[in-house]
Amino acid sequence: MIITVSGEKKEYNDGLTVKQLIEAEEVESPLYVTVTVNDNFVKSDEFETALIKDGDVVEFLYFMGGGC
């Protein structure tokens, strides 16, 4: 299947989960990454079960916050 990851078209096998994609893309600090699929935010407790489908658009975002 062809998906778009962070703006780039990529080919992956069917049946890919969000967690597997995070690992395959070697995302840094994966515990703190936020994932959207087709602009929908995926809950972190669904990373292991949420499947990526052909044509999906995936983005990785880091939580950005802090305090004074």
Partner 1 sequence: MAIRLKRSDYQKMLNHAVSGLPDEACGLLGGTISENGDKVVKAIYPLTNIDHSSEHFSMDPKEQLASVRDMRQNGWVPLGNFHSHPESPSRPSDEDKRLAYDKTASYLILSLQNRTEPVLNAFHIEGGDAVQETIVYDEA
| Residues contributing to the site for partner 1 (CB under 8 A) | 7, 28-29, 32, 34, 36, 39, 41, 59, 61-68
- How many C-beta atoms surround the C-beta of residue 52 within 10 A? 22
Minimum distance from residue 14 beta carbon to partner 1 (Å):
26
Evaluate whether 12 touches 24 at the Cβ level (below 8 Å).
yes
d(CA 30, CA 51): 17
| Minimum separation from the CB atom of position 31 to partner 1 (A) | 9
